[in-house]
Amino acid sequence: MFLQILGFTVGLLYLWWEYHANSKVWLASVIMPAISMWIYFSKGLYADFGINIYYLLIAVYGYWNWTRKAIKASHSEAASSESVSASSESERASSESESVSSESERASSESERASSESERASSESERASSESKSASEIVSDSKITSDSESSDTSEKDAVAITHTPLKVWGLIIVASATIWWLIWWILVTFTDSNVPVADAFTTALSIVGLWMMAKKYAEQWLIWLVVDLVCSCLYWYKGIPFYCILYAIYTVIAYFGYRKWLRLIPTDNKASKP
């Protein structure tokens, strides 16, 4: 019972982070399977037990795929910081040059005999100041260009939520049917499962749904809606009350999660809605 309560709690966190498209969802994807696999095995849900190995592997890929933008943005910020530092050094050099120019003018007023030399020194100092300012402007322009390119790169590499392409749906249907049949055959042939059809069905769709989630396809919520509904009934039948309640909540949230993800799809990607 303790494991059921703990799994229930982690499952709620998973649902909250998934609903908000937060990469922390993949951390919960590592913890929750470690808890659930013991529960499923003890209840004879062997397919659900086995899929947790897949969950652990896909969680690593999903976390990497979702956080690529953050990693590249961090590198861009470091480059931008170096450019700002170079600009600051150039401005300090310009300030020192202006100070030299002021000293030269004061020396010129104190001695008429050194006037010619002072004026020449002042002229050279002003030229150095001008060159230093030009260098500062070049560094500043370079910083602006660098920031612009960095922004463009981050936007380009961002992993945005999108609709599932039509050509992918064919692959999803074939993969789901094939995996369903394969798991059903394994359960019937090698285990004493008394729910091989339902167990194989939810496991097959979960494999496909988790892959769609890693790709950030909005329609992954529709897959989970079906899975959660069937699982809620299955867990009630197998005497796992807390997981029955958890997946009943999942079923309701899956509907609202789908609507939320549709709103998060960038405008230029909405045109590709299947």
Query: pTM of the prediction?
Result: 0.61
Average of pLDDT values for 128-152?
A: 48
Query: In whole angstroms, what is the distance from residue 207 CA to residue 255 CA?
Result: 19
The residues, any chain, with a CB within 8 Å of residue 255's CB and separated by 6 or more, are 221, 225
More confident residue, 33 or 179: 179
Instruction: Give pLDDT, residue 94.
Output: 58
Whether the predicted pLDDT of 136 surpasses 60: no
Average of pLDDT values for 17-29?
A: 80
Instruction: Give pLDDT, residue 176.
Output: 97
43 phi, psi to nearest 5 deg = -100, 5
Q: Which of 190, 186, 229 is nearest to 206 (CA)?
A: 229
